[in-house]
Amino acid sequence: MTLASLVLVIGAAGLHAGWNALAKRGRDPVVFLWCATLASTLALLPFGIWILARDGLSASALPFVIGTSMLHGLYFYALGRAYGTGAYSLVYPVARGLGVALVPMVAFVVFDERLSALGTAGVALVVLGIVSLHVLPPGTASWPGRAILWPVLTGLTIAAYSILDKAGVARLNPVAYMLFLEGGCALLGTPLLWIHPDRVRRELTSWRTIVAAAVMSALAYTLVLFALRLSKTGYVVAARELSIVLSAVIGSLWLREGRLGPRLAGATIVLAGVACVALAR
């Protein structure tokens, strides 16, 4: 993995853990995420228009733009439902861990990306660390009912859009790509204005938090898209899971979910895996 792509991914990891924590604190996470997507679209608009005016829009990029908008729309909905039913420090590792496990396998089939022995070991360590973060101590209540399905669905969409976006950013500048992605998600979420207008109005009272999450989210994934241009998909997705280290601290201390020691131990395993990925070629 190149140094430039590693720096991009580390920055994205910090921003990603931060905006997810803000979404978890929203009164209605699904509505919060839609409002943040709308704000992200507005923030990206001048930059995206300037790049499109300079570079133009390739017709070959359109199927990827449409596909990723639909997948990200499903991702934000599943993530919102997951945060509405589960703890941040449990939802986040499951959702992110599935992406790490699935993306390298799919990337091998789609892009013929072959990970080195060190890179494979790194991805395995990341998955192991994430699993250890999710293990609950004896006597602790487990996931309520079928609530585990939402973070699992979130993880599946992460794997799907990561593969799609690897091909998409090869055809379109990442900033313009993000504009279409966020705009598509905002469009898909507009029925919320008629279905839950009271929830939208209530969420908008925290507009400063929404704007902060929007900027962090858009910037985080834009950095990932640039990293995908420089390194293999499996390495980028695995290294991005440095955010798990931060989520352990944020969930335990800021969101008061406890178990700081065990979560930091699991995060250390994740960190070791990311180090292997960073050194792999």
The C-alpha atoms of residue 247 and residue 88 are separated, in whole angstroms, by 8
pLDDT of residue 137: 52
Domain that holds residue 67: 3-279
Q: Of 14-18, 49-53, 120-124, 199-203, which range is least confident?
A: 120-124
Q: Is the pLDDT of residue 100 over 90?
A: no
User: What pLDDT band is residue 138 in, cutting at 50, 70 and 90?
Assistant: very low
pLDDT of residue 66: 94
Q: Is the pLDDT of residue 7 over 70?
A: yes
Helix, strand, coil percentages in the chain from 3-state DSSP, rounded to 5: 80, 0, 20
pLDDT digit string (tens) for 148-189? 678 888 888 988 888 899 889 889 999 999 999 999 999 999
Mean pLDDT over 1-16 rounds to: 84
More confident residue, 194 or 140: 194
**35 phi and psi, to 5 degrees?**
-60, -40
pLDDT of residue 121: 82
pLDDT of residue 146: 56
pLDDT of residue 153: 87
User: Position of tokens 């699992």?
Assistant: 152
The C-alpha atoms of residue 276 and residue 268 are separated, in whole angstroms, by 13
Q: Is the pLDDT of residue 211 over 80?
A: yes
In percent, the amount of the chain with pLDDT more than 70 equals 82
One-character DSSP codes across 236-266: HHHHGGGHHHHHHHIIIIIS----HHHHHHH
> How far is C-alpha 89 from the chain's CA centre?
14
More confident residue, 259 or 265: 265
Residue 167 is encoded by which pair of tokens? 């091909």
* 26-73-80 Cα angle (round to 5): 25
* 87-265-81 Cα angle (round to 5): 15
pLDDT of residue 148: 67
Q: Of 33-37, 41-45, 206-210, 269-273, which range is least confident?
A: 269-273
Number of domains comprising the chain: 1
Q: Is the pLDDT of residue 16 over 60?
A: yes
**Number of C-alpha atoms within 13 angstroms, CB side, residue 223?**
22
Which amino acid does the sequence have at 280? A
